[in-house]
Amino acid sequence: MAAPTLQRRPLVKQILAGATDDLLVIAGLGSPNWDITEAGDRPLNMPLWGAMGAPVSMGLGLAIAQPKKRVLVITGDADMMMSIGSLATVASQQPDNLAICVLDNEKFGETGNQASHTSPRNNGPTDSGAGTDISVIAKGCGIADSALVREAGEVAQLVKDLRTRKGPVFRLVKVMVEKLEFVMPPQDGAHLKDRFRAALLGRA
Tens of pLDDT along 129-161?
Answer: 567 899 999 999 999 999 999 999 999 999 999
| Confidence at residue 19, expressed as pLDDT on a 0 to 100 scale | 93
Closest CA to 5 of 181, 121, 177: 177
The amino acid at 117 = H
**138 burial via Cβ count (<10 Å: 0-12, 13-18, 19+):** buried
Q: Which residues of the chain are under the pLDDT cut of 70? A: 1, 107-116, 118, 121-130, 204
Tell me the CA end-to-end span of the chain in Å, nearest whole number: 53
Say what percent of the chain tops pLDDT 70: 89
CA 183 to CA 136: how far, in whole Å? 32
Quote the Cα angle for 161-57-68, to 5°: 50
**pLDDT computed for residue 4 by the predictor:** 78
Cβ atoms within 10 A of the Cβ of 136, count? 12
Identify the pLDDT of residue 50: 79
pLDDT at 140: 97
DSSP 8-class letter at 189: H
Sign of the torsion angle spanned by Cα atoms 190, 196, 199, 204: negative
Stated pTM of the model: 0.91
Q: What is the pLDDT of residue 203?
A: 73
Which 8-state DSSP code applies to residue 46?
Answer: E
